[in-house]
Chains A and B, each alone.
Chain A
Amino acid sequence: MATIHMYSRTLLICFLLFLVLPGIIMLSVQEKEISEAEKRPLAELPVLDGSLESIQAFPDRFNTYFNDHFGLRDFFITLHNSAYTRLFNSSPNRNVIWGKDGWLYLASSGNFSDFLGQGITEHETIVRFGNELADRKKWLEQKNIRYLFVPVPNKIQIYPEYLPGHFTARAGVSMLNQLTRHADSRGAEIPLLDLVPTLEAAKQEEQVYYRSDTHWNYAGAYRGYSRIIHHLGNWFPEQRPLTRKQFATHRSKYPGDLASMLHLEKVIEEYDEYPTVQKPCHGKGFSRIVWPYGNEERGGETAAYLAECYNKPLTVFILQDSFGRHPSLFFAQQFGKTYVFPGSDFRDMVPWIEEIHPDLVIDLHVARNVPQALKSHRNVKKAVAKQLFKEAPHTIFNFSPGGSISQPVHPVNASLSPEGIVLAENNDPQLILSLPPLEAFKDLTVHISMSSPENSVAQIFYDNQQAPSFSEKHSHSFTIQKGKNHIYLRAPFPDTTTSIRFDPGNTAGTYTLSDFTIKGFQTEPTGKN
Chain B
Amino acid sequence: MVFSSLLFLFLFLPLVLVGNYLLPFRLRNFFLLLTSLFFYTWGENVYVLLMLLSITVNYAYGRFIHGAPFPLKRFLLATGVAVNLLPLLYYKYFEFFCESLEDLISLPAKSYEIHLPIGISFFTFQAISYLVDIYRNVAKPQNSIINLGLYISLFPQLIAGPIVRYGHIARQLTDRKVNSDLFGKGVERFIIGLSKKVLLANPLGSMADTIFALPAEALTTPVAWLGISSYTLQIYFDFSGYSDMAIGLGKMLGFSFPENFNRPYTALSLRDFWTRWHISLSTWFRDYLYIPLGGNKRGPARTVRNLCLVFLLCGLWHGASWNFLLWGMLHGFFLSVERTYFGTWLQQRSYIIRRLYVVLVVMFCWVFFRAETLTEATDFTAALAGTALSSDIPAKVLLGLTPHFLFVFICAALLATMPTGQTTRNLSARVTSVSPRVFSLTARLLSLFLLLGATTSSLATGVYNPFIYFRF
Residues of A bordering B, CB below 8 Å: 3-5, 7-12, 14-16, 18-20, 22-23, 35, 37-41, 56, 59, 62-63, 66-68, 70-71, 73, 76-77, 79-81, 83-84, 87-94, 97, 106-107, 112-113, 115-116, 118, 166-167, 170, 214, 257, 260-261, 263, 322
Contacts and interface: CB of A to CB of B under 8 A. Distances in A.
B195 to A, nearest CB: 14
Interface in B15-38: 17-18
B465 interface: yes
Interface stretch (B125-133, B134-142, B225-233, B440-448): B440-448
A116 B398 contact: yes
6 contacts: A8-B184, A22-B10, A39-B468, A41-B471, A59-B45, A76-B460
Contact of B395 (A9, A40, A56, A116): A116
Given A4-B441, A170-B392, 17 more contacts: A4-B181, A8-B183, A11-B445, A20-B14, A22-B10, A39-B471, A59-B45, A67-B7, A70-B10, A77-B460, A77-B464, A80-B460, A94-B399, A106-B468, A112-B395, A116-B398, A263-B466
Interface of B: 1, 5-7, 9-11, 13-14, 17-18, 42-43, 45, 180-181, 183-185, 187-188, 191, 206, 392-396, 398-400, 402-404, 407, 437-438, 441, 444-445, 448-449, 452-454, 456-461, 463-472
A59 B42 contact: yes
Contacts of B402: 88, 90-91
Nearest to A76: B460
Contact of B468 (A71, A77, A257): A257
Contacts of B5: 63
Given A16-B14, A66-B7, A118 B466 contact: no
Nearest to A65: B7
Contact of A56 (B1, B45, B399, B437): B45
Contacts of A76: 456-457, 459-461
A113 to B, nearest CB: 4
A295 B70 CA distance: 77
B6 A70 contact: yes
B439 to A, nearest CB: 10
B399 A112 contact: yes
Nearest to A6: B441
Contacts of A22: 6, 10
A324 B415 CA distance: 52
B467 A113 contact: no
The CB with the most chain B CB atoms within 10 A, among A15, A18, A214, is that of A15
Contacts of A71: 10
Nearest to B459: A76
Contact of A10 (B10, B392, B445): B445
Contacts of A97: 399
Given A8-B183, A77-B461, A261 B470 contact: no
Contact of A19 (B10, B399, B449): B10
Contacts of A14: 445, 449
Contact of A94 (B400, B453, B464, B469): B400
Nearest to A71: B10
A200 to B, nearest CB: 23
B10 A23 contact: yes
The CB with the most chain B CB atoms within 10 A, among A56, A83, A84, is that of A84
The CB with the most chain A CB atoms within 10 A, among B188, B395, B448, is that of B395
A371 to B, nearest CB: 16
Nearest to A13: B180
Contacts of A92: 404, 461
Contacts of A322: 468-469
Given A66-B6, A107-B399, A12 B466 contact: no
Contacts of A67: 6-7, 463
Nearest to A115: B395
Given A12-B187, A15-B187, A23 B14 contact: yes
A39 B469 CA distance: 7
Contacts of A214: 468
A11 B448 contact: yes
A81 B1 CA distance: 25
Contacts of A167: 398
Nearest to A111: B395
Nearest to B464: A77
Contacts of B460: 70, 73, 76-77, 80
Contacts of A59: 1, 42-43, 45
A265 B9 CA distance: 28
B449 A89 contact: no
Contacts of B191: 15
A288 B1 CA distance: 45
Contacts of A113: 394-396
A436 B459 CA distance: 61
A19 B456 CA distance: 10
B469 A88 contact: no
B14 A11 contact: no
A20 B17 CA distance: 11
Contacts of B449: 14, 18
B267 to A, nearest CB: 32
A5 B468 contact: no
Nearest to B181: A8
Contacts of A116: 392, 395, 398
Given A11-B187, A23-B14, A79 B395 contact: no
B330 to A, nearest CB: 33
Contacts of B464: 38, 77, 263
Given A7-B184, A80-B460, A88 B448 contact: no
A514 to B, nearest CB: 34
Contacts of A90: 402-404
A38 B448 contact: no
Contacts of B438: 3
Given A18-B452, A38-B464, A38-B466, A63 B403 contact: no
A90 B185 CA distance: 35
Nearest to B41: A59
Nearest to A58: B42
Nearest to A26: B10
Contact of B471 (A40, A81, A260): A40
A38 B206 CA distance: 22
A92 B206 CA distance: 13
Given A11-B187, A113-B396, A84 B465 contact: no
A80 B458 contact: yes
A116 B441 CA distance: 50
Contacts of A115: 395
A92 to B, nearest CB: 6
A97 B395 CA distance: 12
The CB with the most chain B CB atoms within 10 A, among A16, A106, A115, is that of A16
Which 7 residue pairs of A and B lie closest in terms of their CB atoms, listed nearest first?
A8-B184, A80-B457, A113-B395, A76-B460, A67-B463, A90-B402, A38-B466
Given A39-B466, A90-B403, A23 B458 contact: no
Nearest to A213: B468
A285 to B, nearest CB: 21
Contact of A81 (B17, B456, B461, B470): B461
Nearest to A73: B460
A78 to B, nearest CB: 9
Contacts of A263: 461, 464, 466
The CB with the most chain A CB atoms within 10 A, among B6, B17, B43, B466, is that of B466
Nearest to A119: B395
A106 B468 CA distance: 10
Given A40-B471, A66-B11, A94-B399, A261 B466 contact: yes
A264 to B, nearest CB: 11
B214 to A, nearest CB: 11
A384 to B, nearest CB: 32
A326 to B, nearest CB: 14
A3 B441 contact: yes
Given A16-B14, A79-B457, A37 B183 contact: no
A257 B461 CA distance: 16
A89 to B, nearest CB: 6
